[in-house]
Amino acid sequence: MKSTKMACVAVMTAFAVLTIPTWINAQEQAREQDVKHHHYQLIDVGTFGGPASAFNSGRMLNKRGVAVGASETSVPDQLSSNGWPCGPGAFVYHAFDFQNDHVIDLGSLPGTDRFCSNANSINAQGEIVGNSEIRKIDSVLGLHEIRAVRWNGNLIKNLGTLGGKHSAANDINDRDQIVGFALNEIPDP
């Protein structure tokens, strides 16, 4: 009986000694894999005083780590606010750019807090496109007209329309080519 017990202890000890190098090797391989994988950090970009902020469907992050989107302010939407740049919610959205842990309010075309804007896309050079409400009210919809815009730094430029009442810029590539939509002056029956 003693010899059987001793044989079992000897086999278990041998098994443990033989598996330890394999176990240590597996841990080393796991550490090497961790080094190869990217680790991501979740960052809350906050808001401009309202309850929400969002990224849009365009190229919202460039290779320099600059992100663009829109964030609600504490200013309530007007009855004539346009849902395109104002999005869901009850507060005015403003376009933002987020870089180096700082959020910058890009503003809107009329230059006041009362009009919505949205940043849809950014290219490698940091030029941003999107849309902004303007003071003019669309007589058919009863809402503020919107315009495609381009931000270069903190300067906003109205890209106009094709003669109609609305336009928006959806994306910009690294050759500064912008795509979006613009209405023409031909009425739709």
CB atoms within 10 A of CB 178: 16
Residue with tokens 């003019």: 136
**Domain extent listing, the chain:** 1-39, 49-184
The tokens of 48 are what? 């401009």
CB 178 within 8 A of CB 159: yes
pTM given for the model: 0.76
Chain-wide mean pLDDT for the chain? 83
Helices (H), the chain: 2-36, 83-86
Of the candidates 128, 14, 139, which has an alpha carbon nearest to the alpha carbon of residue 68? Answer: 128
- Answer whether 147's CB lies under 8 Å from 132's CB: yes
Contacts of 134 (CB under 8 A, 6+ apart): 109, 110, 115, 144, 145, 146, 147, 158
Cα angle 55, 61, 132 (rounded to 5 degrees) comes to: 50
Q: Which two tokens stand for residue 7?
A: 């044989």
Look up residue 187 and give its DSSP letter: P
The per-residue pLDDT for range 15-50, each reduced to its tens digit, is 444 445 554 555 566 566 655 666 777 777 778 888
Residue 26: half-sphere exposure toward Cβ, Cα within 13 Å: 5
d(CA 81, CA 157): 20
DSSP structural state of residue 66: -
Q: What is the pLDDT of residues 45-89, one digit of tens each?
A: 778 888 888 888 778 889 999 999 999 999 999 999 998 888 888
